[in-house]
Amino acid sequence: MPIPPSTTEREGLNPGTDLLKTPILGRFLRWRHARSVLQGSFLGLAVLIILDGLFGPQLAPRNLAGTIPWVHWRGFVVLALLVAGNLFCMACPFMLPRRLAKRFGPARLPWPAVLRSKWLAVALLLFFFWAYEAFSLWASPWLTAWVALTYFALAFVIDGFFKGASFCKHVCPIGQFHFINGMVSPTEVSVRDSRVCASCTTLDCIRGRYEPSGLTPQQPEGWSGPIGADEETGEARLRIEGENGERTRALAASGRARGPEGLIQGGCELALFQPRKEGNGDCTFCMECIHACPHDNVGIHLRSPLKELTLDPVRSGVGRLSRKPDWAALAILLTFGAFLNAFGMVEPVFALQAWIGATLGINSRGFLLVLFFLTGLVLLPAAATAAAGWLSKRLSGGREGLVQNISTYAWSLVPLGFGMWTAHYLYHLLIGGWTIVPVLQQYLADLGLPLGGDPRWGAGAMVPESWLLPIELLFLQGGLLFTLVTGFRIARREEGRKKAALRAFLPWAILATLLSLAGIWLLNQPMEMRGTFQAL
């Protein structure tokens, strides 16, 4: 089956501004060791956080592990996604130990077929949301340090035994947050000119670049190029002609895992074949494809934030989003999780939990939290999206199944969910951002390096209190606006005519509006302060 033309291929030249061609930033990003420098810097910060979490003061507002991960990092993450893209995965500190695992471990096992989806990631995110509240992670620097250590261990062990970037693609909950919300980012790693890819015979972006031996990077003997694409995963199918003329076929799932010895530059380990790559799903901005391409034909381009969510091509390494219920479940979980995470920090949640406990005769807080999260992140989202999907089918007369309708329109909710995450995380950053100053002062003083006198523990707010609610509402309502525009464009893509599209999207628009109203109510509630000494 021939590979369907990608959006970029239909356009030919990519019209988006290429950040790699900007004077200062572009020069740094093109540098072969740019990512290692970023990862090394964040690794050093992670080491400081872990050490302070394990051995420093266990009062969260006085500890690096109690402030940086839960106040500063989350706020800067959503800002980075909003203005630049998946910068955290690019600079992820967990990847440096993983490189050691790849070098010294076998890394030969294929990831189990039963786990080659996002369902494991959905389950791990559910567990993390529950554990965050059940163990009060924000209030325990010691536990936060162990969460970070567990991350390092999992990345090391999983990628030390399994091929490719199995930890990033199938396991990492933080990565899944970035993959989904990165779909509304203004940047994307993509080819500059698809016509160059059409004539490429080496496919180094996916298989990696090797020393000239056997199959040379310039003209690999018998390498016939892509002959098709898997409809479900979007992976490029490749074939190699051996010396005896016999042809064999192989999936280009990992540049590091295939081909002859002598690899000098890895290809994409997440199976994203650049000529068929669409959007930021599963893309860690590792820039391996940028460095591997012998034609210098891959860049980091600016794009419309609406593009990725409104189109439905076969995406390399992913497939069609409208045919991927596991991806849709991940998007729905993160959308509803944005509201439930904020609800867990306002006063009414305690009254609700007390009422549920009294009604059911349950005194165990842990069990109550299990019920709370199962209801808020499983039962309620399932019921709400099933109702919206069923009404959408009835109003539009659609013949597709309910699961497919949900998998198609769930993507319209992503901007609203990201708007709520941004509003919530920016609240904590803006009200507690300057707490980093006294915490660092105390940390240095404990090392015998006093700086700036006694720590100013009253420092915190970065903006006046009166600014907070307008800023939060701006992001929440901006997310709703983008959701409504995205949903209508999806409906036009599916239904064609405006009236049919309006009928198809109306139930989803109502669901998004109800979520937005819930968000407005939440943002108007007194919120528990975490990581600071203040209380609002």
The sign of the dihedral angle between the CA atoms of 331, 429, 91, 96 is negative
Nearest alpha-carbon partner for 85 in 191, 180, 186, 175:
186
pLDDT in tens, 463-503: 888 999 999 999 999 999 999 999 999 999 999 889 999 99
Percent of the chain beyond pLDDT 70? Answer: 86
Greater pLDDT, 207 or 19 = 19
Distance CA(71)–CA(393), nearest Å, equals: 42
- φ and ψ at residue 495, rounded to 5 degrees: -105, -25
Mean pLDDT of the chain: 84
- pLDDT tens digit string along 334-373? 999 999 999 988 888 878 877 887 887 777 777 888 888 9
515: exposed, middle or buried (Cβ count in 10 Å: 0-12, 13-18, 19+):
buried
As a whole number of angstroms, the distance between CA 321 and CA 404 comes to: 10
Tell me the CB-side half-sphere exposure of residue 276, using CA atoms within 13 A: 30
Task: State the average pLDDT over residues 159-184.
Answer: 92
User: Per mean pLDDT, which range of 98-107, 152-161, 218-227, 319-328 is the poorest?
Assistant: 218-227
pLDDT value, residue 255: 36
Tokens found for residue 158:
């999983």
The phi, psi pair for 223, rounded to 5°, reads -80, 110
Strands of 165-222 (E only): list them.
187-191, 209-210
- Quick one: DSSP state of residue 532? S
Global confidence as pTM: 0.87
Domain ranges of the chain: 32-185+317-523, 189-302
pLDDT in tens, 435-468: 888 888 888 888 877 776 777 777 778 888 899 9
CB 255 within 8 A of CB 220: no
Please tell me the distance from the alpha carbon of residue 55 to that of residue 179, in angstroms, as a whole number. Answer: 34
Are residues 411 and 483 in contact, defined by beta-carbon separation less than 8 angstroms? no
What's the pLDDT tens digit per position in 259-316? 445 677 888 888 888 888 989 999 999 899 999 998 999 999 999 888 899 999 999 8
